[in-house]
Amino acid sequence: MFNGVFKKTSYIAIDREDNNVSKEPSVPDGLWEKCPICKKAVYTDDLRNNYKTCTKCGHHFRLTSKERIEMIADEGTFEEWNQKMPDVNPLDFEGYIEKVNNMQIKTGEEEAVITGKCTINGHICAVAVCDSNFMMGSMGYVVGEKITRMVEKATDEHLPVIIFTCSGGARMQEGMVSLMQMAKTSQALKKHSDAGLLYITVLTDPTTGGVTASFAMLGDVILAEPGALVGFAGPRVIEQTIGQKLPEGFQRAEFLLKKGFVDLIVERNEMKSVISDILKLHSDGKVTLKSADYYHGRNAVFDVRNKNTKEKTPWDRVKISRDSKRSTGFDYIKYIFKDFIEFHGDRYFGDDGAVIGGIASIAGKNVTVIAQQKGKNLKENQYRNFGMPNPEGYRKALRLMKQAEKFNRPIICFVDTPGAFCGIEAEERGQGQAIANNLYEMSTLRVPIVTIMIGEGGSGGALALAVANEVWMLENATYSILSPEGFASILWKDSRRAEEAAKVMKITAKDLHQLKIIDKIIPEYKPSTDDNIQQIAGYIKNNLKEFLAKYENVDEATIVNNRYNRFRNY
């Protein structure tokens, strides 16, 4: 507009002698750190105060093992084990010892892992933290040995183990000795597991190679940090081998969660509390029954029930059981349990949205909870597949039941499915096999199981969660060999006669109670929805407490026998 129209003043040279400015302005090293993801400069102090996650994009920066311990362990509780180990050079690899020594000077660490014992919000555990700053966290003899000794000591002292993994893989300079660390650490963990002890892995960026193929993937619970790269072969190796560009997000934590290999992605600011919650849900607990609130809850439901006079037809109940407003598994879990932590994935193929599961507590007792989950709208249902599980859903359920058996947790299942999903891919992955395997394995689980039918109980897809010591049913739930439509179509070649079929199939709670297919009816004064779920959940909760108390001192053989006999009688 007016470029150059203004006159500038010529400056008088000002005497600088009395100048207080001692140094030229300059940015000191480390004032900012550049985020590798969003490329923005982040003030280092902010980064430190924000669990070393980017204040702008949330990227989780890599941590040193000391930083990690500071974030996880209760202050002053960390006791390091086997800090100093002798340098080894099994292949007499030229320059290797020097390289390790240089790394020690550069990082101030002895090796690529720190092991020891600490408390996490008061829960004592053994812990190992790998450090990617030390030769990319690669595993040689020292890393393998420190982890193995830590796990063995934890087994002796009866401690849970937590390992934060990050590694480029086996350490090349130690050749086959490195490879042997995979077997050594894995077998130590197997012994630890056989002693009934908990192992949590936390996958951090990056976890690859021999570490992934050993201790990283063996956790009872596998957590991961957002965006962490986790894989066996690194992305560059895969790209070079197959000559293809990998898709965005391949091998990231979110990808692994979807593929069923990770229980939970946990942001760093939540990590300590999630771990301590999991530890808490694995500490010993006995059922504590308060008789007062128990009777109060039960009577309340019965009182209102008396007002319910009109008897519903079976077809009415079929419709109610399918109603999109009907309470779902999550709704009951929310009202019945405390501290529910959801775990994901079958560890083979995927995470099925139609089956949810995890650990929780009720009346002071830790339990495993599994539910078939429908959505309440189209978007939810796309993810939940309308409550029709795929084989990976049944396999996730079985994985969690096995986990429950290991930690001696009773299992509570909620069934609500139109049926196991029927589709090409479900068949390819063995839908029949998955269901059969659940019936087979559930029959001998050494912990008590109770299954509650809350909505639709569609055939084999429902039974796969219902080989239980007791099976309960909500008043308006159904449990059937087939949908009334399917029944009518097969028997009478006319699916429009579904209402008639519903009448003769004996699929209501009342009918099935008479047939002794189920053990208990949960009354619904009105069909269960958001409006009255609290009341119904309260009733279930009281019954569950009673169930748990009943089984508290029953020996494993009796638990298994009772279940066997229950089904032997049909």
Partner 1 sequence: MFQKVLIANRGEIAVRIVRALREMGIKSVAVYSEVDKDSLHVQLADEAICIGPADLSESYLNMERIISATIAGGAEAIHPGFGFLSENAKFVEMCERCNIKVIGPSSVVISNMGNKSEARNTMVKAGVPVIPGTDHIITDVEEGKKFADEAGYPVIIKATLGGGGKGMRIAWSADEFNEKFETAQMESQNAFGDNGMYIEKYIQNPRHIEFQIIADKYGNVVHLGERDCTIQRNHQKMIEESPSMAIGEDLREKMGNTAVLAAKAAGYENAGTIEFLLDKDNQFYFMEMNTRIQVEHPVTEMVTGIDLIKEQILIADGQELSVTQSDIVINGHAIECRINAEDPQKGFRPCPGKIDYLHIPGGNDIRVDTAIYEGYQIPPNYDSMILKLIVHDKNRFSAIHKMQSALGELVINGVNTNIDFLFSIFSDSTFKNGEITTDYIENFMKKRSDS
Return residues touching partner 1 (CB under 8 A): 1-3, 5-6, 8-9, 11-12, 14-16, 18-28, 31-32, 41, 43, 45-46
Contact yes or no for 203/213 (Cβ under 8 A): no
10 or 377: CB nearest partner 1: 10
10 or 291: CB nearest partner 1: 10
Closest approach of Cβ 17 to partner 1, in Å? Answer: 10
8 or 379: CB nearest partner 1: 8
Q: How far apart are CA 478 and CA 239, in angstroms?
A: 51
Closest approach of Cβ 30 to partner 1, in Å? Answer: 10
**How many C-beta neighbours within 10 Å does residue 225 have?**
23
Q: How far apart are CA 155 and CA 126, in angstroms?
A: 10
Question: Which residues are within 8 A (CB) of 323 and not within 5 positions of it... i.e. 6 or more apart?
Answer: 527, 529
Exposure class string for 485-498: b at 16+ Cβ within 10 A, else e: bbbbbeeeeeeebb
Closest approach of Cβ 27 to partner 1, in Å? Answer: 5
4 or 243: CB nearest partner 1: 4
Closest approach of Cβ 341 to partner 1, in Å? Answer: 23
14 or 176: CB nearest partner 1: 14
Closest approach of Cβ 22 to partner 1, in Å? Answer: 8
Question: Which residues are within 8 A (CB) of 428 and not within 5 positions of it... i.e. 6 or more apart?
Answer: none
Query: Omega before 247 cis (within 30°)?
Result: no
5 or 378: CB nearest partner 1: 5
Closest approach of Cβ 56 to partner 1, in Å? Answer: 9
Q: How far is CA 157 from CA 30, 134, 160, 473, in A?
A: 42, 29, 9, 44
Chain-centroid distance, C-alpha 57: 25
Closest approach of Cβ 28 to partner 1, in Å? Answer: 6
HEC states along 18-74?
A: CCCCCCCCCCCCCCEEECCCCCCEEEHHHHHHCCCECCCCCCECCCCHHHHHHHHCC
Task: Return the closest-CA partner of residue 357 out of 421, 404, 324.
Answer: 404
Closest approach of Cβ 49 to partner 1, in Å? Answer: 11
As beta bridge partners, residue 521 has 473
Compute the C-alpha angle 555/518/460, nearest 5°: 95
DSSP 3-state assignment of 467? Answer: coil
41 or 246: CB nearest partner 1: 41
6 or 570: CB nearest partner 1: 6
Strands (E), 249-351: 264-265, 338-342
Closest approach of Cβ 52 to partner 1, in Å? Answer: 18
Closest approach of Cβ 43 to partner 1, in Å? Answer: 7
DSSP 3-state assignment of 374? Answer: coil
DSSP 3-state assignment of 452? Answer: strand
